Amino acid sequence: MGFEDIIGQEEVKQRLVHEADAGRLPHALLLTGPEGCGKMPIALALAKYLCCSGEMREIANLQWDQLIHPDVHFIFPIVANKARKKETCDDWITAWREMVLRNPYFSYNNWLKQMDVENSQPVIYSRESDIIQRKLSLKSVQGGWRIVIMWLPEKMQEAGANKLLKLLEEPPAQTLFLLVSEEPQKMLDTILSRTQRIEMPRLTEEDISRALLQRMSIGIQESRVIAHMANGNYIKALEDLSADNENEEMFNLFISLMRLAWSRKVKEMKAWSEEMAAMGREKQKDFLQYAQRMIRESFTSNLHRPELNYMNAPELQFTVKFAPFVSENNAMGIMYELQEAQVHIEQNVNAKMVFFDLILQLTVLIKNH
């Protein structure tokens, strides 16, 4: 993954290349922005630009093509498993490399599936700070830059983040930290203050459509439709191409939720909440995020501005009749209940209680349109 492989983000690419060539790169960069805008690909491209341009360029490129460059280190959330002898990022590095090499545009859920821990909550353990400190105490293998790429630093345990502070303040010469964050507001302020932040925008529909045409076997019209629905998120565009069954399942669950909330059939409502509770935590969170999107889309469709909607054909057809039930009177309330349910699921509250309470709250709100 080099700068030539990045989708869009021309301004960010030019800025980073210019600062690298001028020797003005800070010792710690924080790359943030919405999902699917290309933060990790940008981090990978910058690391390659710095580490594969010296006298050992040929060897460095061969190493980079397998993500085994000795001066590039990765830190990412994991689930420690003593039985499987996977307790550090180094223990998970083979699975990590496989995923990143397969497609550097990946999501948190992609990584959970790669680790086969979809019902767990990965974190960056504090021991990783000790490990990276030991690695950086050694000389650069190839005599150039040493790069630390940390994906989702907001998932670092507080003790580990505090250990990292001094290293960020006084890193060894020619060392660059690249922090790639989805939720920087969850990071310690002391970490944020020691980084230079680069906010990356959503990709344009033109950028996504062009990338789909070049990389996927689809036609122009299909690429445009998917690019519009992706709303600047290339990862979502890829998911829309490959996950029709999962999207259909979410859609059907959403229809059931709204119809049961309207009909107030308690027995069926209880059965629906039990069905949701039987799913994995990540799938439950995916549904609640999907439901929030559908409420936003339904409310927006009342404005009769089709260019503002990002739905597929079945979703559009459903909202023709459903949208009138989402108005200024209840839209915020419905969104609040869905968001609260998501927070409770993330906090491991009993899922049956969460989803049954959710549907009970919606029975009141959906009638108040």
Nearest in space to 30 (alpha carbons), one of 43, 47, 21: 43
- Supply the pLDDT for residue 144: 83
At 34, the amino acid letter reads: P
Residue that has been written with the tokens 């409770």 in this structure: 344
Q: Which of 214, 229, 177, 225 is nearest to 36 (CA)?
A: 229
Backbone angles phi, psi at 4, to 5 degrees: -70, -15
Which of 317, 276, 323, 318 is closest to 296 using CA atoms?
323
CB 155 within 8 A of CB 93: no
Distance separating alpha carbons of residues 172 and 136, to the nearest angstrom: 7
Q: How many domains does the structure of the chain reveal? A: 3
Residue 150 is predicted with a pLDDT of: 96
The model's pLDDT over 294-344, given as tens digits with 9 standing for 90+, comes to 998 899 888 887 777 777 778 888 888 898 999 888 999 999 999 999 999
With beta carbons less than 8 A apart as the criterion, state whether 250 and 287 touch: yes
Q: Domain of 166: which CATH number? A: 3.40.50.300
Q: What is the pLDDT of residue 54?
A: 67
Q: Which domain holds residue 280?
A: 244-367
pLDDT of 247 above 90:
no
Residue of 311, 300, 307, 315 lying closest to 251 (CA atoms) = 315
Confidence tier at 245 by pLDDT (50, 70, 90): low
Q: Answer with the one of 186, 211, 242 that is the final residue of a domain.
A: 242
Same domain, yes or no: 69 and 131: yes
In this structure, the answer to whether residues 181 and 260 fall within a common structural domain is: no
Mean pLDDT, residues 181-203 taken together: 93
Q: How many CB atoms lie within 10 A of CB 342?
A: 20
Which of these, 91, 102, 3, 89, lies nearest to 44 by C-alpha position?
3
The mean pLDDT value for 18-42 works out to 93
What is the mean pLDDT of the segment spanning 360-369?
A: 86
pLDDT at 182: 93
Q: Over range 88-93, report the average pLDDT.
A: 94
> Do residues 80 and 68 both lie within one domain?
yes
Q: What is the pLDDT of residue 18?
A: 93
- Polymer length of the chain: 369
Indicate if 160 and 281 belong to the same structural domain: no
Query: 89: how many CB neighbours lie within 10 A of its CB?
Result: 22
Query: Do 136 and 249 lie in a common domain?
Result: no
Quick one: pLDDT band at residue 244, thresholds 50, 70, 90? low
Q: Are residues 176 and 265 in the same domain?
A: no
The two three-digit tokens of residue 188, written as one number: 């310690």
